[in-house]
Amino acid sequence: MAKDEFEKREFKIVGTRVPRPDGLDKVTGRARYGADMSAPGMLFGYCLRSPHAHARIKSIDTSEAEAMPGVKAVVTRADFTHVPASGGTKDILDNVMAGEKALYDGHTVAAVAANSRSAAKAALKAIKVDYEVLPHVTDVDEAMKPGAPELHQGRQQESVPEGFSQNVLARSQYGHGDVDAGFAKADIIVERSFKTAATHQGYIEPHACLASMGNDNQADLFCCTQGHFMVRNTCADIMGMESGRLRVTASEIGGGFGGKTTVFLEPVALMLSKKSGKPVKMTMSRDEVMRASGPTASTSIDIKIGVKKDGTVTAATGDFRYQSGCFYSMNGALGAMCGFAPYDLENLKTVGWEVVTNRPKAAAYRAPGAPMAAFAVESVMDEIAKELGMDPIDLRLLNGAEEGTKAAYGPTYPAIGLKATLKAAKAHPHWSAPLGENQGRGVGCGFWFNFGGNTSVSLMINPDGTVNLSEGNPDIGGSRASMSMMAAEELGIPYEQIRTIVADTASLGENDVTDGSRVTFAVGLATIKAARHAIEIMKGRAAATWGIDADAVEWVDGAAQPAGPNAGKFPPLTLKDIAATMSKTGGPISGHHEANAEGAGVSFGTHICDTEVDPETGAVKILRYTVFQDAGKAVHPDYVEGQLQGGAVQGIGWALNEEYIYGEDGTLQNAGYLDYRIPVASDLPMIEPVILEIPNPGHPYGVRGVGETGIVPPLATIANAVSRAAGVRMTSLPMSPPKLLAAIKAN
Amino acid sequence: MSRIHVNTTINGDAVDYLCEAEDTLLDVLRDQLDLTGSKEGCASGDCGACTVELDGRLVCSCLVLGAEAGGRTVNTIEGMADGDVLHPLQKNFIEKAALQCGICTPGILVAAKNLLDHNPDPSEEEVRYWLAGNLCRCTGYDKIIRAVLDTAAEMRGAA
C-alpha cells in the first residue's frame, strides 16, 4: 500500500540548501535551451497563421512560395496523411496544422523551411490562402447559447442536457448530501457570479525545436518541453511512425508552468525535415506564443453558500463554466472538483462545463482550473465572514477539511495540512499588523490534487564510487538537485558524489510529463527505490566478500556492515570500496526502479495579502504577501520557497493585470509583453514563504508536490484584500485600474 | 542580397561578421557567433532576456541592428566570468537560488552587474526599478533581489 511508505527519520542532506548542478551553465550562458541548438545544414522553419478567428480554408496555393530562392519545403495539412490513433492526438494535429477550418486567430495553416530566416519569412508571404470567413465566438456564456456560432458538430457528450449549443462539449457533476435541505437550514445565503479572463503561462522562453528526419523513417528531435516522452509518443502518432524510431532529447526548459505539456511546432518541424531531407529548426515569436500556444481557460462561475449564524456552512453549490479554446479540455470539471476542496461540507453540489470557443486550445497552467474556482468560492466565504462579523480565518477553520473529511470531489482525505496552514497564518504577525487608509487585507485557501504517474529511474555506480542518476523529466524547478539529494540521503554518500541528468527517450523507460507537481514526489520515490535496489546489490557483494548471508548485512552511512554481532566481525565496506572491486565481485552495479507511482499527497495552502487601492486611479499596490503551504517534506527548501513565491506572483499578475483581450473581429489585441503585462520587479514586495511539513504517507520521506498549489489562493486572496480596501466587492478578474475605478465610482 | 561587413569588439575580442541589414545584434550574436547566452523572449524590447552592454550602456540586443555594433564595444553574459572565476553575482545567483529555469538569468545578471558598476550600494527599491525591464516568470523576483543586494554588500566589504 502506497500509504505505508513514510518512515520517520533524521535527514542529513534532505532539507539542506545545496547548490544546483545546472547552476553554473545557467549563470554563464552555456545552458542550451530549445532555440540554442544548431545542426550542420540546418534550415529555418516558420508557420503561416490564420488572421481570422473562424474561417473555412477553401484552398491553399503554395506554388509561388515553393519556387522562391532558398525554400526547401512547404507543408500544409495535406502533407499529414496519417490519421492519429488517439482522438486526443487528432485534436493536437488539428491544432498544430489546421484542417478544413482555421479555428482561431493564429491557427497554423501552412509552414515553410528555407536556408535563411529571411528567405523563409519571405516565402510565408507568397502562400495564398483562400478563406471563407465564418461567424466567431470567444466568450464562454455566449458560446453556450443556442444559435451561437459553432466550431464543431457531433462532439457533444451525452452528459450535456438539451438547450445548449454544440460548443458545450461536456458537463460533469460532483457533491454529496441534499443541498435544498441544507439551504433551508441556513440563516444567511450569499449568491454571487464571477468572471475571470484567460491568462497565459508567460514562460519567457518561446517554444522551439530542432528536428532531423530522413527517409529511413528515423528521427531525432531536440526541444523545450515538460515531457519529451509525451513529445515522442504524440509526434510518432501524428507522423505515423513507430515511437522507438523517434528519439527526443529535452533541452533546458525556459519555463513551462503547464504550457509545455503538449506539442506545437514539433510535428511541423518533423514534417518539414522529412520533406526537405534536412534538419529544421523552428522557434516561435512572442506574438505566436500568445496567439497560438496554451492560454488558460476563461470562466464564468456562480457560487451559492448558506451558513448558520455561528458560521457553519449548511450547503453550497457551484456552477463552473469554462471555455478552453477550440478543442476539448478538462478544465470546468477540475474547477468543480477543486473549488470547495478546502471545506468539510455536509451538502454540496458542483457542476463543471467544458465549452469550446474561437480561441487557442487551452493548455494546462499550474493547477489548471483551480485558481478561478478558488477565486469564486473564497470570495463568497470572505463576504460571509464580513456579514457575520467573523474573522475570515476562523470561518475557514470552523468549516475546514481535515483527515477523514469527505472531499468535494469524492474521496476521504488522509492526513492533510489545510488547518495547519490556517493556524500558521493566524499566528503570523502579518495577520495582526495594522493597516492604513485605503488598505485592505485578504486571506484565501487553495487546493491541488498532485499526481504520481509513470516514472523510470536508473542509478549507476561508477568504478570510482561516483554515482550517475538518469531520470526522464525535464527539470523546471531544481529537480536534478533534489534527485541527487534524495539519492545521496539513501546511499549515505555526499551530494557532490552524485550527478543527475535528464536522459533522452532512447536511454530510459517511459516517463509521464513534468506536471501535476509530480516530479519531486514520483521521481523522488523512484530515485529512493533505485538507490535501495543498488544497496541490495552492494550488500550482496559485501556478503559474498565476507562469506556471510546477504540478510546478515546492513547498509549504514554509505557502507555495508555486518548486522549485529552474530553476523561476524568485518570492517565496513564503503560504497567506494564495493565500486572499486565490482568487476571482480559480479560485474557492474546499477539500481533502477519503474512504477506508476500512487500516493501523491494532496496539497493545501493559505495566503495573506495586504493591498493599497488608489481611489483616484483604481491602481492596486501589493504591500505585503505571505504564503503558507504544506510541502510534506521540503527536500530543498530554497526551491520550495521559489515555487511558493513564483506561484504567488503569477497569481498577482492574474488577479491585477493579465488578460487575453479579443477585438470585435475575434483577433487577439494584446499579443505581446508590452500590452499583456506580467508582474515586474518594481510591482512587488518580498514574498514571504512559510513552509509547513505534514508528511505525505505515500512517500518514504513524506514529500508532497509543491509546484502548483501556490497559484490557487492568490486570485481570491488579492480580490478579498482589494474588496476590503476599496469597500466594493470585485467579482471580475483582472482587477485592472479602469475596472476597479468604475466599481469604486459605481459604489 | 548584399551583406554588411561589421568590425566590433565583443567581450574584449575583436570580432568581424557579415550581416543582413535587417539582422538584429541578437540575431548576429546567436546565429552567427554562437553566443547563445543572450536569449530571445520577445524581440520587442519588453522582456530583457537579450540584455547586453553596448559601450557600457544596457540595451536590448533585439532592438539594436547588427550593423549598428560596428566600432563599438559589446559585453554579453559569456564575458561576465573572468576565466573560470565567476563574478560574485554569478556565484551568488547559484548559492542563493536566484534562478529557477534560468532563461532570464543571463539578461538579469548583465543588468545587475551594470547596476553595481554604477551604484555599489543600491536600495531594494533601486534594484527593483533597475531590473523592472527584465521579466522573470519563475521566481517572483524575491531571491533575485536578495542575491543582488547581498552581492552588493559582499563586494563593498571586499573593496
Helix (H, G, I), strand (E, B) or coil at A697: coil
Same domain, A403 and A538: no
Outline where DSSP puts E strands in A614-701.
Answer: 620-630, 687-692
Sign of CA dihedral A374, A379, A380, A384: positive
Neighbours of A729 (CB within 10 A): 18
Alpha carbon distances (Å) from A638 to A477, A644, A655, A685, B88: 10, 10, 25, 18, 19
Of A562, A597, A632, which residue is a domain's last?
A: A597
Is A100 exposed, middle or buried, given 0-12, 13-18 or 19+ CB atoms closer than 10 A? Answer: exposed
In terms of DSSP bridges, do strands A71-76 and A128-133 run parallel, antiparallel, or are they unpaired? unpaired
Total domains present in chain A: 2
Three cell numbers written together for A18 = 545545496
A44 located within any domain: no
Last residue of a domain, one of B79, B97, B122: B79
The answer on A538 and A645 residing in a single domain is no
State which of B55, B79, B103 marks the end of a domain: B79
Provide the 8-state DSSP code for A653.
H
| Cα gap A460→A468, rounded to integer Å | 5
Number of domains into which chain B is organized:
2
Residues B61 and B100 in one domain: no
| Least Cα separation, residue A143 to chain B (angstroms) | 32
**Strand-pair partners of B19:** B4
Pick the last residue of a domain from B48, B79, B110. B79
Bridge-based pairing of strands A453-461 and A589-597 is antiparallel
Q: Which of B34, B35, B102 sits opposite A252 (nearest CB)?
A: B102
User: How close, in Å, is residue A326 to chain B by CA atoms?
Assistant: 25
Q: Locate all alpha helices (DSSP H) within A301-346, ordered by sequence.
A: 332-338
Taking only Cα atoms into account, the Rg of chain B, rounded to an integer number of angstroms, comes to 16
Residue ranges of B 115-154 with Cβ closer than 8 A to chain A: 125, 127-129, 131-146
- Cβ within 8 Å, pair B94-A24: yes
The pLDDT tens digits of the residues spanning B118-147 come to 999 999 999 999 999 999 999 999 999 999
> What pairs with residue A320 in β-bridges?
A301, A352
Which CATH number do you get for residue B97? 1.10.150.120
Domain-terminating residue out of A570, A597, A624: A597
Contact A645 B140 (CB under 8 A): yes
Identify the CATH number of the domain in which residue B18 sits.
3.10.20.30
Residues 6+ apart with CB under 8 A from A383: A190, A192, A729
Tell if the CB–CB gap between A24 and B86 is shorter than 8 Å: yes
- Find the residue in B nearest to A675 (Cα): B46
- Does residue B73 sit in the same domain as residue B112? no
* Neighbouring residues of B91: CB distance < 8 A, sequence distance ≥ 6: none
CA-to-CA distance for A606 and A155, rounded, in angstroms? 39
Nine cell digits for residue A564: 549485529
Per DSSP, the residues of chain B read ---EEEEEEETTEEEEEEE-TT-BHHHIIIIIS--TTS--S-SSSSS-TTEEEETTEEEEGGGSBGGGGTTSEEE-GGGSSBTTBPPHHHHHHHHTT--SS-SSHHHHHHHHHHHHHH-SS--HHHHHHHGGGS--SSSTTHHHHHHHHHHHHHHHHH-
C-alpha cell at B78: 559569456
Q: Give the DSSP H/E element, type plus range, for residue A421.
A: helix A418-427
| Same-domain status, B22 and B51 | yes
Alpha-carbon distance A80 to nearest alpha carbon in chain B (angstroms): 30
- Collect all residues of chain B within an 8 Å Cβ-Cβ radius of residue A19: 94-95
A606 and A741, same domain (yes or no): yes
Which residues in chain B show pLDDT less than 70? 1
Neighbours of A410 (CB within 10 A): 10
For residue A527, the enclosing domain spans 23-31+452-597
**Which DSSP symbol is given to A495?**
G
Place of cell 482587477: A735
pLDDT in tens, A44-53: 999 999 999 9
Pairing of strands A128-133, A313-323: unpaired
Task: Give dist(CA A472, CA A297) in Å, integer.
Answer: 29
Contact at 8 Å (CB) between A102 and A77? no
Whether A563 and A493 share a structural domain: yes
Residues B63 and B42 in one domain: yes
Q: Which of A385, A401, A397, A193 is nearest to A307 (CA)?
A: A385
Q: Please give, rounded to a whole number of angstroms, the shortest distance from the CA of B51 to a CA of chain A.
A: 12
**Do residue B101 and residue A678 have CB atoms under 8 angstroms apart?**
no
Is A203–B136 a contact, with Cβ atoms under 8 angstroms apart?
no
Query: At a CB cut-off of 8 Å and minimum separation 6, what does B18 contact?
Result: B3, B4, B5, B6
Closest CA to A630 of A416, A429, A476, A478: A416
B105 touching A, CB under 8 A? yes
Radius of gyration of chain A (CA): 27
* Residues paired with residue A547 on neighbouring β-strands, in sequence order: none
Instruction: Give me the pLDDT at residue A3, please.
Output: 60
Task: Confirm or reject contact between B90 and chain A (CB < 8 A).
Answer: yes
pLDDT at residue A691, rounded to an integer: 98
In the three-class reduction of DSSP (H, G, I as helix; E, B as strand; rest coil), residue A469 is classed as strand
C-alpha cell of residue A213? 528526419
pLDDT on residue A1: 39
Same domain, A635 and A653: yes
CB B104 within 8 A of CB B136: yes
Question: Can you read off the three cell numbers belonging to residue A51?
Answer: 488572421
Residue A690: inside a domain, yes or no?
yes
Q: Give the HSE-up count for residue A559: Cα atoms under 13 Å, Cβ half-sphere.
A: 9
Set of chain B residues whose Cβ sits within 8 Å of the Cβ of A673: 41-42, 44, 46-47, 135
Q: Contacts of residue B143 in chain A, CB cutoff 8 Å?
A: 638, 641-642, 645
Instruction: Assign A299 to helix, strand or coil.
Output: strand
Q: Are residues A373 and A430 in the same domain?
A: yes
A629 and A719 housed in the same domain: yes
Residues of chain A with pLDDT under 70: 1-3
- Rounded to an integer, what distance in angstroms lies between the CA atom of residue A273 and that of residue A111? 11
Question: What whole-number distance in Å separates Cα of residue A680 and Cα of residue B47?
Answer: 10
A538 and A610 belong to one structural domain: no
pTM for the model stands at 0.97
Distance from CA of A375 to the nearest CA of B (A): 20
Domain span including residue B30? 4-79
* A442 and A462 fall within a common domain: no
Q: Are residues A506 and A614 in the same domain?
A: no
Confirm if A396 and A342 have CB atoms less than 8 A apart: yes
Q: Which residue in chain B is spatially nearest to A207 when comparing CA positions?
A: B41
Contact call for residues A373 and A335 (beta carbons, < 8 A) = yes
Verify that A735 and A621 share a domain, yes or no.
yes
Same domain as A536, residue A412: no
Both B17 and B71 in a single domain? yes
Q: Decide: A744 and A730 in contact? Cβ < 8 Å.
A: no
Q: Is residue A360 part of a domain?
A: no
Which CATH number do you get for residue A464? 3.30.365.10
Asked if A650 and B141 come within 8 Å (Cβ–Cβ), the reply is no
Residue A505 lies in a domain: yes
| DSSP annotation of A113 | E
A25 chain-B contacts, CB cut-off 8 A: 102
Q: Are residues B32 and B71 in the same domain?
A: yes
Tell me how far the alpha carbon of residue A438 is from its chain's centroid. Answer: 35
Q: For residue A271, what are the CA distances in angstroms to A103, A217, A226, A242, A277?
A: 22, 11, 22, 15, 10
Contacts of A29 in chain B (CB under 8 A): 35-38, 76-78, 106
Q: Are residues B67 and B93 in the same domain?
A: no
